[in-house]
Every structure is written in C-alpha cells, then in structure tokens.
Amino acid sequence: MTMGKLPAWAVQRVSRRHEKLIQTALFLCAALSVLTTAAIILVLLGNAVYAPGARNAFFEQVSLWEFLTGTHWKPVDGPAGRFGIIPLLSGTIMVAVIASLVSVPAGLGAAIYMSEYAAPREREFLKPVLEILAGIPSVVYGFFALKFITPWILKPALGFLGLELGTFNALSAGIVVGIMVTPLIASLSEDVIRSVPRSLREAAYALGSTRFDVSVRVVVPAALSGILAAFLLAFSRAIGETMAVVIAGGQQPIATLNPLRGAQTMTSFMVHASTGDSAADSISRMSIYAIGIALFAITLTINLISGWILRRYREVYQ
C-alpha cells in the first residue's frame, strides 16, 4: 500500500474546493435515503388522503371509519364497492401468525444449537445452509407451497383427519413464509446469544447446571431483548411478504380465521389490483394506496418497536 507518486502539481490541484465538492456529492448520496422515505410517505398520503387536481383521493370517497371497521372488501367501482380493511387484515395476520408458529421455535432452536451445541466445523456447514434458504426468491417458495406442500403434505395429512383443504389456502402460505423468515430469526438470535459473555455460562456450569439450564435459564434470558427484537422483525417481514402469499394463499377477501381456506392479504390484494385492468384514477386502483399506507404503517411500527426493545433493554456486559 503506497501513496503513489503524485507530482506536486497534482497534489495542488486537488484543492479544498474539490474536496468540498466530493464530500457534498457523497452527502447527497446518503441523503437520498431520507428523500426516499419522504417520497414514499408523500406518494401514499398524496393519493389516499388528499390528491391535488381533479382526481379524487381514496379517503375523499370512503370514510376512514368505513375503511377501518368494514368487514367487506369488494374493490369495484360504482355503488357496489365495499372498502373495509378487516378481511385483508385478518388474512395478513393469519398468515403472519402461522409463519411465526413455524419460524419462532425453528429459528430459536437453530440459534441455540449453532451457538451452544454445534462444533465450529458443523456450524460452518450449517450457516451457509440457512443463508441459501434465506436467499431463495419468494416466488420459488410460492410454487413450493402451491405445488408441493398443499397437494403432497397438507392434503393427505388433513384428509386423514377428515378436514377439507382448499387448493389455495392460508396454511401453506403461512408455512412457507415461516420457512423464509426462519434464517432471519436464527441469524439475528445467534448473534445476540453469542454476545452473552462466557463467564455467565461458566458460572452456571460451575453451579452444576446442565446444558439445558445454561441455555434456557441463563443464556436465553440474558439475550432476551435481542431475541424478541428478532421475532418482531420476522413478524413484520412476514406481513410484508408478497409473492409466496399471492401464489399459494389465493385471492378471496373473506374475514375469516380459518387457515384451510384461501385468504387475501394486504400484499396479495395490491398485486391482484395492479394486474387488473381498471383505470389509473378509479377508486379500485386508488385503494392500493390506502392499503399501502396500512402496510407501511404496520411494518414501520413493528420495526420501530423492535429497535426500541433492542436499545432499551440491551444488557451491557463489560
């Protein structure tokens, strides 16, 4: 690493003005992220709450009360249209809860195993496996749920119990979304679990604890804030997950908590509506922005709570 042989004139030419110019350019790059956030909020609010010009914003035609409490979602133009978010919300939450039921035990178990039990070489082999699982695109999981999990695993298993399963169902969508977010929980939890100091473990072992006692009564409580933050991040990821749910979950906006039927989530409605051929300023099209606000607000709130827990309850070890 040498500085390179710069002639004196070259050094002179890179004047303070140049430096300032470059720094300003770099600052603008960094500030672009703030601009992006501002643009997202402006675009969503600008089309849902107040639209300048001749177009009518969504909430100028549908009251906020009807939107939040309505139990029917029939996004068609004209008097037949019903715009209550409850069916989409119930579908979204159902998928996210099923995903959590899959990913929380699996992700936490994997994190504990990799940090407390696995030998270094075993860990080196397992980590890439989880990374690959996390890197597989959402559409692939959708295909897997629709063409494999539903017909080959869930249908026979539930048929054995005498239950009927739809071709499109929230259960298979929730399961694959759970598989998708498991690596996220595993890697985030493993990071916090590994940062628990060794002295705590050694003290517990010295007092006669078994591995179970050390993992469950010492290490996990010490890392609890980070683990909770990971769960919340995974939950918000599951809420925003799109293609897998679009493919496997179906498109019926019904206010139900029955996972064996098809359900429409907020994200799958947005995909469905944008592939339709309604006019750009029709109310069915504008409802995308209203759902977009709800999705953005919910995921942002969960992410902020997750960050707050991480900062507020972080144990600091010296």
Partner 1 sequence: MSEQNPSGKSARTNAGSINGAPINGESAKRRPAVSFVSGGDRHIRSRLMLSRVFAWLCRFSTYAALAVLVVLLAAIFYSSIGRLSPDFVTNTNSTSPLKAGILAGLWGSFWLILFTAMFSVPVGVGSAVYLEEIAKDSMLVRIIKVNLANLAGVPSIVYGILGYTVFRTSAAAIATLFDGKHVIGILGLFKVRLSKLPIYEDNILVGALTLTLVILPTVIAASQEALRSVPGSIRVASLALGATRWQTIWRQVIPAALPGISTGVILSTSRAIGEAAPLIMLGALTYTSMCPGGIESPLELLTKPAQLLQAPLDQFTAMPIEIYDWSKQPDARFTAVAASGIVVLLVVLLSINSVAMVVRHFASRRLKW
Q: Is 25 in the site for partner 1 (CB under 8 A)?
A: yes
Question: What distance in Å separates the CA atoms of residue 200 and residue 144, rounded to the nearest whole number?
Answer: 43
CB of 117 to partner 1, least distance (A): 6
- Closer CB to partner 1, residue 159 or residue 307? 307
Q: Is 95 in the site for partner 1 (CB under 8 A)?
A: no
- Closer CB to partner 1, residue 1 or residue 72? 1
- Closer CB to partner 1, residue 90 or residue 287? 287
- Closer CB to partner 1, residue 71 or residue 317? 317
Contact range with partner 1 by CB under 8 A, out of 14-22, 55-63, 81-89, 155-163: 14-22
Which residues have CB under 8 Å from 62's CB, separation 6+? 83, 283, 287, 290
- Closer CB to partner 1, residue 25 or residue 80? 25
- Closer CB to partner 1, residue 135 or residue 162? 135
In the range 153-212, which residues lie near partner 1 by CB under 8 A? 179, 182-183, 186, 194, 198, 201-206, 208, 210-212
CB of 161 to partner 1, least distance (A): 22
Q: Are 69 and 147 in contact, with CB atoms under 8 Å apart? A: no
Tell me whether residue 163 is exposed, middle or buried, using C-beta atoms within 10 angstroms of its C-beta: 0 to 12, 13 to 18, 19 or more: exposed
Which residues have CB under 8 Å from 37's CB, separation 6+? none
In the range 113-132, which residues lie near partner 1 by CB under 8 A? 113-120, 126, 129-130, 132
In the range 242-261, which residues lie near partner 1 by CB under 8 A? 242-243, 246-247
Contact pick of 36, 61, 69, 71 for partner 1 (by CB under 8 A): 36
Residue appearing with tokens 């070489």? 121
Q: Is 23 in the site for partner 1 (CB under 8 A)?
A: yes
CB of 129 to partner 1, least distance (A): 5
Name the CA radius of gyration of the chain, rounded: 25
Q: Is 276 in the site for partner 1 (CB under 8 A)?
A: no
Amino acid code (one letter) for 286 = M
Q: Is 54 in the site for partner 1 (CB under 8 A)?
A: no
In the range 285-314, which residues lie near partner 1 by CB under 8 A? 288-289, 292, 295-296, 299-300, 303-304, 307
Q: Is 19 in the site for partner 1 (CB under 8 A)?
A: yes
Amino acid code (one letter) for 105 = P
Q: Is 33 in the site for partner 1 (CB under 8 A)?
A: yes
CB of 282 to partner 1, least distance (A): 14
Q: Are 107 and 182 in contact, with CB atoms under 8 Å apart? A: yes
- Closer CB to partner 1, residue 116 or residue 226? 116
In the range 210-239, which residues lie near partner 1 by CB under 8 A? 210-213, 215-216, 233, 236-237, 239
Number of residues that bind partner 1 (CB under 8 A): 102
- Closer CB to partner 1, residue 27 or residue 71? 27
CB of 118 to partner 1, least distance (A): 8
